[in-house]
Amino acid sequence: MGYLTFNKSELVNLQYSLHKEILSTNRAGAYMSTTIVCCNTRKYHGLLVCPIQEFDGESYVLLSSLDETVIQHEQTFNLGIHQYPNGVYEPRGHKYIVDFEFEPTPTLVYRVGGVILKKELLMIHNSDQLLIRYTLVDAHSPTTLRLRPFMAYRNRHQLSKANLFVNTDHDVVEDGIAARMYSGFPVLNLQLDKKNKFISNPDWYYNIEYSEEKARGYDYQEDLYTPGYFEVPIKKGESIIVSASLKEEKTKKLSAFFDKELSLRPPKDSFLNCLKNSATQFIVQQGKNTEILAGFPWFGRWGRDTFIALPGLTLAANYDLAACKGVLDTMSREVSNGLFPNIGKDDNAAYNSVDAPMWYFWAIQKYAEAIKDKTVVWKDYGKKMKQVLEAFRNGINSHIRMHDNGLIWAGQEGKALTWMDAVVDGVPVTPRAGYAVEINALWYNAIKYTLELAEENGDKKFVKEWADLPSKIEENFTPLFWNDELGYLADYVDEMGQNTDLRPNQIIAASLPYSPIDDEKKSTLIYKLKDDLLTVKGLRTLSPSHPDYKGFYSGDQPTRDRAYHQGTVWVWQLGHYVEACFRLHGKAYLTRAKEIVSAFEEDMTDYGICSIAEVYDGNPPHHPGGSISQAWSVSEILRIIQMIEQNEKK
């Protein structure tokens, strides 16, 4: 029995199986995602979802699904499944599924009477292509396979409706068809590696529902277009491969190509290997750029998330120094007036994150620890590091600037500039304008580390200019943020004084290589966070004793946004919590760190299979929510595992 498997009783129970989602990417931005029974429950689900450069690189659901029908003695057995209004599922192909396995690639086994059919789905790396291999394991009568594609051709954030603009024509290509629903879009080539018959029957299927979108308060009904269907005879023991690709393929080569690609897939036979596999899916190579996608299935690249997730995804996962450097180089080219684009690129970039630049320094620190060559690091990034520091010291703009006390003040009416960035009706849910605790801890670390590199590399001018600033920050940080009565750091300080809502952001001040607070205060605040915020899935974003605490992350977008940073548990800060504890306790913390990591192994078969979710409910049993696979969630569990290994060697 494999590591990631589901049996018939689990699969036929839709209340169970529709909440188990799979994801496979091409490592270049495209992906395949659905549930373990291949019933799409999100508008983001699809068999081929690709970024289209002509449309600003936005991802589009091209092929939504492919329904299989087994035909014997003129009897048809449809293996597909779609949800329609009033809780109707039609067809009910899930009742034929007897087994699902994720290793080495998502594989379903169907039993229809004496017919046993195996389906394997394989995304091709660095190509906008999905291969599906059907193998007739057993059959006692002549069998035909009917395959009906359902196309959407729309932005993954939107839904399709039947219309008169659809192009119902198709071209004939080798053993298949080439179809394009709308002009200006890429052509979708649907091909088999065996001679077949395509029956043209353009039609719309109406009001297909996506239950997860309904639960999230979005539009949830879609019309899908089908150009017709393929029919192909299949013999016992025979395999037939279907290719969905943006280019025409040589069909005779598909079988060998499938075997070769399958052999290259990394193992997913353990918790650690699942995390390593998941880590590689966020790293995207596009031309000369190496980027990190923040999460699947709906996030693109985020500057803040990129730097926070980078060390874990590259250095802790597969020790991929080239990928780590590639991301740092890509992002370094995009810095503007001290800021990095938080979302978007080029003309669509939004420079609205005050913390992304600070995390840039931390990511470089981790990279330097790995390559153990400060000269190379200074040569590659020293100039950019100095530019960022100077921009903050001089003032990015009227909203982000260093004050005379050496600390960074950031705030703008109606804007949320830190990672707690939810805004409802134009008002930040967690207004943190002023001196934010983690921003200033990161600022101190950035200056100290840049001085370290400058001294090592003989940059006397920079050292002379900046040498006195860290001591000024040290003098002012603790009196400004520390609350002796409460025993922890204020979350932020503004014109009204300290905001002492107990939040996890202060853990950053305890975890960084250079910290502006002493070990006694680190220990005190860690115990406070342990008692009030720590859960088995991460740190709550607000103490449960606070009147604004929200224990569940659910409902429509405004409701979810009000809970996003008001009690909802995030995984990513758990890495910094463990790092702070190791700094204080060393090897004595090993047992507890292992317990923290082991709590996530159960997540490999829940929500997003083989990965870790974006967030969890603040209240037990801490159900997962948000994206099914989040970069900084995966990265920080990998970093904790790395910390455990490093401390075991001491």
What pLDDT is recorded for position 1? 64
HEC per residue, 499-541: ECCCCHHHHHHHHCCCCCCCHHHHHHHHHHHHHHCEECCEEEC
User: Per-residue pLDDT for 290 more than 80?
Assistant: yes
Q: Determine the average pLDDT of the residues in 411-437.
A: 94
Does residue 346 sit in the same domain as residue 210? no
Q: How do 607-608 and 20-25 pair as beta strands?
A: parallel
Does residue 187 sit in the same domain as residue 103? yes
User: Per-residue pLDDT for 347 more than 80?
Assistant: no
d(CA 252, CA 77): 28
What pLDDT is recorded for position 415? 86
Write out pLDDT tens, residues 215-251: 999 999 999 999 999 999 999 999 999 999 999 999 9
User: Per-residue pLDDT for 413 more than 90?
Assistant: no
The domain tally of the chain equals 2
Which CATH number belongs to the domain containing residue 503 in this structure? 1.50.10.10
What pLDDT is recorded for position 134? 99
Confidence of residue 619 (pLDDT cuts 50, 70, 90): very high
Does residue 286 sit in the same domain as residue 254? no
User: Per-residue pLDDT for 345 more than 90?
Assistant: no
| Contacts with 110 (C-beta within 8 Å, 6 or more apart), sequence order | 68, 70, 79, 93, 96, 97, 98, 116, 117, 118, 119
555 phi-psi bin (left φ>0, alpha ψ -120 to 50, beta other): left
Of 244, 263, 282, the residue that ends a domain is 263
d(CA 242, CA 146): 12
What is the pTM for the complete model shown?
0.96
Does residue 227 sit in the same domain as residue 350? no
Does residue 238 sit in the same domain as residue 276? no
Confidence of residue 255 (pLDDT cuts 50, 70, 90): very high
What pLDDT is recorded for position 349? 85
Lowest-confidence segment of 63-67, 218-222, 393-397, 574-578 by average pLDDT:
393-397
Q: Determine the average pLDDT of the residues in 160-174.
A: 98
User: Per-residue pLDDT for 414 more than 90?
Assistant: no
Classify residue 46 by its DSSP letter.
E
What pLDDT is recorded for position 242? 99
If you average pLDDT over every residue of the chain, what do you get? 97
> Sign of the CA dihedral 540, 545, 551, 553?
negative
What pLDDT is recorded for position 398? 85
Does residue 219 sit in the same domain as residue 344? no
Cross-strand bridge partners of residue 134: 119, 240
Does residue 604 sit in the same domain as residue 464? yes
Residues spanned by the domain of 398: 271-648
Does residue 289 sit in the same domain as residue 242? no
Biggest CA-to-CA distance, the chain: 87
Q: Determine the average pLDDT of the residues in 301-310.
A: 98
Confidence of residue 389 (pLDDT cuts 50, 70, 90): very high
Does residue 304 sit in the same domain as residue 353? yes
Does residue 301 sit in the same domain as residue 223? no
Structure token pair of residue 22: 């799979």
Is residue 96 classed as helix, strand or coil in its secondary structure?
helix
Which CATH number belongs to the domain containing residue 143 in this structure? 2.70.98
In angstroms, the Cα distances linking 207 to 149, 220, 332 are: 17, 9, 46
Of 237, 263, 289, the residue that ends a domain is 263
Residues 557, 294: contact at Cβ < 8 Å?
Answer: no
Cross-strand bridge partners of residue 107: 101, 120
Does residue 314 sit in the same domain as residue 222? no
Does residue 280 sit in the same domain as residue 220? no
Of 208, 230, 263, the residue that ends a domain is 263
